[in-house]
């Protein structure tokens, strides 16, 4: 079974997206199709609102995962997350409840607190659920970012919950003791070298860049 994974693409964090994709593929026990997307934004990255069009891109059929991706590191088999699908829910998220320790994040951007902050950064999406039918490129043009990120367009009963370790916000309070996806929400370890999981991120980057050494044979075949 193919796992459909959509990820955010931001040119300022291009290396982060490559590292995340490698971290997913290197641990996955099932085939994973990764689709980078970007688009309409009113926030701090190039894919702030594009994520909510994943059901539209899927023709309102089947399931998909959304992950911010560019500032994440997968430390477990993504098939474990895929197995948590609940057909009675429109979306499943880690329901974070915290106040940030960092009022400023990467590139000097403000890091504001708001209700349901970071819920939408990792979503297990039931694209065929009727709650998504109202979300189209045209309808989204009339909606604010706050309405979208707080899921005010659907009933609370349609929002399921995921274990905290699937969206561990690095170095923020009230997080899981372990991480299956580490989320560097204030910025990648290239900007914050002393943050938690920095060592694991750099190890993954080195693994991604690995290639087997080989020398071209000479004319005599040696």
- Predicted confidence (pLDDT) per residue in 21-75, tens digit: 999 999 999 999 999 998 655 555 556 788 999 999 999 999 999 999 999 999 9
- The Cα–Cα gap between 125 and 222 comes to 55
- The Cα–Cα gap between 41 and 48 comes to 5
User: What pLDDT score was predicted for residue 38?
Assistant: 82
Asked if the model's pLDDT at residue 143 lies above 60, the reply is: yes
User: What pLDDT score was predicted for residue 222?
Assistant: 65
Cβ proximity of 123 and 58 under 8 Å: no
Q: How far is CA 157 from the centre of its chain?
A: 23
Q: What is the mean pLDDT of residues 3-25?
A: 95
Asked if the model's pLDDT at residue 14 lies above 90, the reply is: yes
| Beta bridge mates, 36 | 7
Percent of the chain with pLDDT over 70: 95
- The Cα–Cα gap between 9 and 131 comes to 26
Pair of tokens at residue 123: 């979503």
């Amino acid at each position: 079974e193919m796992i459909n994974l959509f990820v955010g693409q931001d040119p300022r964090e291009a290396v982060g997206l490559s590292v995340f994709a490698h971290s997913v593929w290197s641990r996955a026990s099932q085939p994973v199709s990764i689709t980078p997307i970007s688009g309409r934004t009113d926030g701090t990255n190039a894919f702030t609102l594009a994520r909510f069009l994943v059901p539209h891109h899927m023709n309102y059929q089947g399931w998909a995962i959304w992950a911010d991706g560019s500032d994440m590191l997968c430390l477990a088999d993504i098939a474990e997350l895929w197995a948590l699908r609940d057909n009675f829910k429109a979306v499943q998220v880690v329901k974070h409840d915290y106040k940030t320790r960092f009022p400023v994040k990467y590139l000097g951007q403000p890091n504001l607190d708001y209700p349901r902050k970071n819920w939408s950064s990792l979503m297990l999406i039931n694209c065929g659920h009727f709650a998504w039918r109202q979300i189209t490129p045209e309808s989204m043009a009339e909606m604010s970012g706050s309405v979208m990120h707080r899921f005010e367009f659907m009933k609370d009963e349609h929002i399921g919950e995921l274990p905290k370790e699937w969206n561990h916000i690095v170095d923020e309070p009230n997080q899981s003791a372990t991480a299956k996806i580490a989320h560097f929400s204030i910025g990648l370890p290239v900007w914050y070298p002393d943050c938690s999981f920095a060592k694991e991120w750099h190890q993954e980057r080195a693994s991604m860049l690995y290639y087997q050494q080989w020398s071209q044979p000479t004319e005599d075949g040696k």
